[in-house]
A and B are shown apart, each in its own frame.
Chain A
């Protein structure tokens, strides 16, 4: 434990170094290198801890409020998330080092001092073992990421994004504050151990569940609290976007798991039902939003919303099965959730890095200004393809394994006693399947428009491949995506202590024969999946096929200009190609017309008129209409009312103070009685 705390202290030192050595050319090398080293140390420590077992590490630091010390503790659940956070930290540091050098820009705000602080904040949340330390670290993490978003303050969209982010982050922290307040009311002790020992009553627990879903959900991006996420995540520099989307949302998932599975004790069935419902809504809405975006990074941020939806569905299922006393299936669902947490942190980082590489090379993240990058940036194109295929849940990559485990848990619904829940699970399963299929469409669109076809702008046509550090930063998660897809079982085995801690069972309990390369979870249904054999068979068949074809077939190749409906040859602007919006049009018409009230407006000039025809698409965001606008109106109204307090005479101020004192005294008198 001392090691983790010193590594975090080292991160703070790196932040100080970032401030001190701002002008030095080696500053970024030192800061990113040091951060990566500290992250590697923590990740390694967590992995060893998980594999080796042993008692939880804990530490009490005499800091913080005078009568509350800072309790730190890393159990197996913390260790799992420590690995996720720090793995993301390592790759982001590697990529960020290259990215920073490519974007040498003196106008932007400081990234170097804030970047290690952000990682330190996330690590502190994971090892906090009392509500005070937890909230402090949580707020620290939020503020650090907020400042990182502000580092691009010269871009026109950033101020609005940052403002919305700080409002939503404060809202989330307020909900968490209330939740922990409710949890600690019974006995007045804020340490997690004490909260765990005194389970709250049914009403209090219900309140906590709702508050946690609101508080951690707003950070994770649960619909309809997601509105800030697609604005704030893309605004930051790309490696920070990757951390925010790939890793910080997972810290929010950690908070949900910690409270719902650990601190609250035995769950009730409806917790899972509500959680699952939110997850399903989030998954489907997230990917539909993503399909409408033209901005690469915003598309990825919306896709994060979708993936968080899938993770939350898995959490809901695990709660439901835990409440129904079928712990093995609960472990299966929770294993799916944790696996998807790891998977998503990998491929989302990878895709954000790829977006960053594209931004570096072309200066644009607008899909309609990209195209043909597979020719100009071959390595990035291959790595981004791995990411796109993994996030679209294609076998034998890692995204599919998570999806497969989740479906296995869903297929166990008949084991539940309550049939309204079974029907809900059927509907949630359909929603998840829909979201997965739409994600496939979404990433065909992203990859096809950005990397394939012909360049849609001059910058895209003149792009050059990015530097070695950036490519390496992308290659690491890409390789891990393949490895985890082929051999997921060792990783799930690594999670087992955490699963046992939370649901008191492992997903492989009771199955006799369990080789390490075979994924065959225990459940009522005897299914199995083997990515390794799949990969080997695919490789074998491909070899047979290629050899067979090249022995028999003609291998002559002629290059020619394709028929472009009368447009002669490759037009310089490549306007006859499909654009991002035209690719999305069928799906926009099928889904968007009801959900987003999306409309296509065609302005066709009369015959003889020479002005150009125009097609425009309008859509409204239901979350803005239903949630953000009423809330911001409400906040403005309240602020107006509160504003009066600032223009009162001293007489009235004194009266108010006196009244407040009386009320407080009455409250004390009543509660002390």
Chain B
């Protein structure tokens, strides 16, 4: 019975993240537009964009191989699965024991690996720029994220996301300086990984500053729709991850009923709205940095997260 319920929840979660991801992006764009004094498009615009892209024909570079055409599917599947692994409204998920936080990070790593390869497949210089910069960013962002996991795992003694959420909700943690450091580091990583300002600009098409956009420049039609949808999912995933680890309140736990799960879903939407607003506020109040300062930014994140882990040892003697 529990297994069945967990499976139903798992399927619901996969569908929920898929449905909400464009909405979140639409919301961030809307708030950003309002903050700079524009009216902005409707929050539903991303859905329309995706549908339009799906209807368009695909234009492929002469040199594109099968890899180029497969990568959007691989990437989307990996990120979709990863998004399905983060508990958003309940911790009872069928896939929870299959993969922990480390596997989740590695799944995101796979998506990035293949997208970077696709960037190099057409043999244009833009793809190369994007891929090489993306891998440089990832080379620092991934260890920073693993160190965040390390800090949290020292405290919670697990890397299973469901158990982390349960533990954080139990309230035995309290306020900790290490958790604050880990939170800051994770937010910095999330900004970098989602190609947001100040690391990258999701709205730019200026050659010298593009990272993510350069990598996917040759994609069109349904492939581009998948790549865009995957980016939206990734933004949602990182927000859900931060919410799950640091503010899991409202989530349904083991043994609670369907009403609690519904409450969890409502709480999740509220958290997303809040997170989206904060992201928009942050993005409008800061300028993009030069590509080669990204190393300092993410190196800072890595050091902060490492410091968090060391603080835990020193302060608690765990």
CB within 8 Å for A444 and B113 given contacts A430-B143, A433-B146, A527-B159: yes
- Kindly state whether residue B300 has any CB partner on chain A within 8 Å: no
CB contacts (< 8 Å) of B116 on chain A: these are 444, 448
Contact present for B159 and A440 (CB under 8 Å): no
CB within 8 Å for A586 and B59 given contacts A389-B110, A414-B318, A562-B124: no
Which residue, B74, B110, B135, has most C-beta atoms of chain A within 10 A? B135
Contact present for B99 and A534 (CB under 8 Å): yes
A-contacting 9-mer, from B21-29, B31-39, B75-83, B270-278: B75-83
1/0 per residue, CB under 8 A from A, across B272-312: the answer is 00000000000000000001100100000010001001100
A392 to B235, CA, bound (A): 24
A194 to B224, CA, bound (A): 68
CB of A474 to closest CB in B, whole Å = 18
A430 to B298, CA, bound (A): 13
Choose from B95, B98, B120, B157 the contact partner of A453 (Cβ within 8 Å): B120
Contact present for B218 and A562 (CB under 8 Å): yes
CB contacts (< 8 Å) of A557 on chain B: these are 57-60
- Kindly state whether residue B172 has any CB partner on chain A within 8 Å: no
A444 to B110, CA, bound (A): 11
A-contacting 9-mer, from B101-109, B195-203, B254-262: B101-109
B-contacting 9-mer, from A115-123, A476-484, A569-577, A607-615: A569-577
A590 to B125, CA, bound (A): 21
Chain A's closest residue to B115 (CB) is: A444
A526 to B96, CA, bound (A): 12
CB contacts (< 8 Å) of B306 on chain A: these are 426-427, 430
CB contacts (< 8 Å) of A443 on chain B: these are 113
Choose from A389, A559, A574, A583 the contact partner of B113 (Cβ within 8 Å): A389
Contact present for A590 and B67 (CB under 8 Å): no
A563 to B309, CA, bound (A): 48
A605 to B15, CA, bound (A): 59
1/0 per residue, CB under 8 A from B, across A580-594: the answer is 001111110110000
Contact present for A453 and B123 (CB under 8 Å): yes
A-contacting 9-mer, from B41-49, B126-134, B242-250: B126-134
- Kindly state whether residue A530 has any CB partner on chain B within 8 Å: yes
1/0 per residue, CB under 8 A from A, across B122-157: the answer is 111101110111011011111100110010011001
CB of B108 to closest CB in A, whole Å = 10
Contact present for A394 and B143 (CB under 8 Å): no
CB of B256 to closest CB in A, whole Å = 21
Choose from A437, A530, A574 the contact partner of B139 (Cβ within 8 Å): A437
CB of A409 to closest CB in B, whole Å = 12
CB contacts (< 8 Å) of B136 on chain A: these are 441, 586-587, 590
- Kindly state whether residue A469 has any CB partner on chain B within 8 Å: no
A436 to B109, CA, bound (A): 10
A209 to B153, CA, bound (A): 32
- Kindly state whether residue A411 has any CB partner on chain B within 8 Å: yes
Choose from B58, B78, B313 the contact partner of A426 (Cβ within 8 Å): B313
> How many A-B contacts are there with CB distance less than 8 Å?
268
Give the total of A residues in contact with B, Cβ under 8 Å: 85
- Kindly state whether residue A525 has any CB partner on chain B within 8 Å: yes
CB contacts (< 8 Å) of A590 on chain B: these are 136, 139-140, 292, 295
CB of A41 to closest CB in B, whole Å = 37
CB of B98 to closest CB in A, whole Å = 5
CB of A61 to closest CB in B, whole Å = 48
B-contacting 9-mer, from A131-139, A299-307, A544-552, A621-629: A544-552
For chain B residues 221-249, which have a beta carbon within 8 Å of chain A? 221-222, 225-226
Contact present for A441 and B139 (CB under 8 Å): yes
- Kindly state whether residue A511 has any CB partner on chain B within 8 Å: no
Which residue, B60, B66, B128, B138, has most C-beta atoms of chain A within 10 A? B128
Contact present for A440 and B138 (CB under 8 Å): yes
CB contacts (< 8 Å) of A168 on chain B: these are none
A527 to B97, CA, bound (A): 7
Choose from B100, B102, B122, B128 the contact partner of A582 (Cβ within 8 Å): B128
- Kindly state whether residue B158 has any CB partner on chain A within 8 Å: yes
A507 to B55, CA, bound (A): 53
- Kindly state whether residue A631 has any CB partner on chain B within 8 Å: no
Contact present for B309 and A452 (CB under 8 Å): no
A207 to B59, CA, bound (A): 66
A429 to B146, CA, bound (A): 9
Contact present for B123 and A554 (CB under 8 Å): no
- Kindly state whether residue B213 has any CB partner on chain A within 8 Å: no
A372 to B203, CA, bound (A): 31
Contact present for A452 and B120 (CB under 8 Å): yes
CB of A601 to closest CB in B, whole Å = 17
Contact present for B76 and A545 (CB under 8 Å): yes
Contact present for B159 and A525 (CB under 8 Å): yes
Contact present for B159 and A411 (CB under 8 Å): yes
Choose from A441, A525, A546 the contact partner of B73 (Cβ within 8 Å): A546
CB of A243 to closest CB in B, whole Å = 28
Contact present for B109 and A529 (CB under 8 Å): no
For chain A residues 502-551, which have a beta carbon within 8 Å of chain B? 520, 524-530, 533-534, 537-538, 541-542, 545-546, 549
A384 to B163, CA, bound (A): 38
CB of B149 to closest CB in A, whole Å = 8
A476 to B291, CA, bound (A): 42
Contact present for B132 and A584 (CB under 8 Å): yes
- Kindly state whether residue A196 has any CB partner on chain B within 8 Å: no
CB contacts (< 8 Å) of B226 on chain A: these are 545, 549
Contact present for A434 and B54 (CB under 8 Å): no
A441 to B116, CA, bound (A): 9
CB within 8 Å for A560 and B60 given contacts A437-B142, A534-B98: yes
CB contacts (< 8 Å) of B121 on chain A: these are 374, 448, 452-453
A590 to B296, CA, bound (A): 8
A427 to B302, CA, bound (A): 11
For chain B residues 179-193, which have a beta carbon within 8 Å of chain A? none
Chain B's closest residue to A563 (CB) is: B124
- Kindly state whether residue B13 has any CB partner on chain A within 8 Å: no
A10 to B55, CA, bound (A): 66
Contact present for A433 and B99 (CB under 8 Å): no
CB within 8 Å for A549 and B120 given contacts A448-B131, A537-B81, A557-B58: no
- Kindly state whether residue A419 has any CB partner on chain B within 8 Å: yes
Contact present for A426 and B123 (CB under 8 Å): no
Contact present for B80 and A576 (CB under 8 Å): no
CB contacts (< 8 Å) of B159 on chain A: these are 411, 525, 527
CB contacts (< 8 Å) of B81 on chain A: these are 534, 537-538, 541
Choose from B107, B123, B142, B225 the contact partner of A452 (Cβ within 8 Å): B123
CB within 8 Å for A553 and B222 given contacts A426-B313, A437-B138: yes
A374 to B146, CA, bound (A): 33
CB of A187 to closest CB in B, whole Å = 43
A31 to B212, CA, bound (A): 52
1/0 per residue, CB under 8 A from B, across A395-406: the answer is 100001001100
Contact surface of B with A, Cβ cutoff 8 Å = 14, 54-63, 65-67, 73-74, 76-78, 80-81, 95, 97-100, 102-103, 106-107, 109-110, 112-113, 116-117, 119-125, 127-129, 131-133, 135-136, 138-143, 146-147, 150, 153-154, 157-160, 163, 218, 221-222, 225-226, 291-292, 295, 302, 306, 309-310, 313-314, 317-318
What are some 17 contacts across the A-B interface (CB < 8 A)? Answer: A395-B107, A413-B154, A430-B306, A433-B146, A436-B143, A437-B109, A448-B128, A453-B123, A526-B160, A529-B98, A538-B78, A560-B62, A564-B125, A577-B125, A578-B120, A584-B132, A586-B132
Beyond A436-B142, A542-B73, A576-B125, 13 additional pairs, beta carbon < 8 A:
A374-B66, A414-B157, A426-B306, A438-B139, A444-B117, A444-B120, A448-B119, A527-B100, A527-B158, A577-B123, A586-B132, A586-B292, A590-B140
Closest 4 CB pairs of A and B: A578-B128, A448-B120, A433-B143, A453-B123
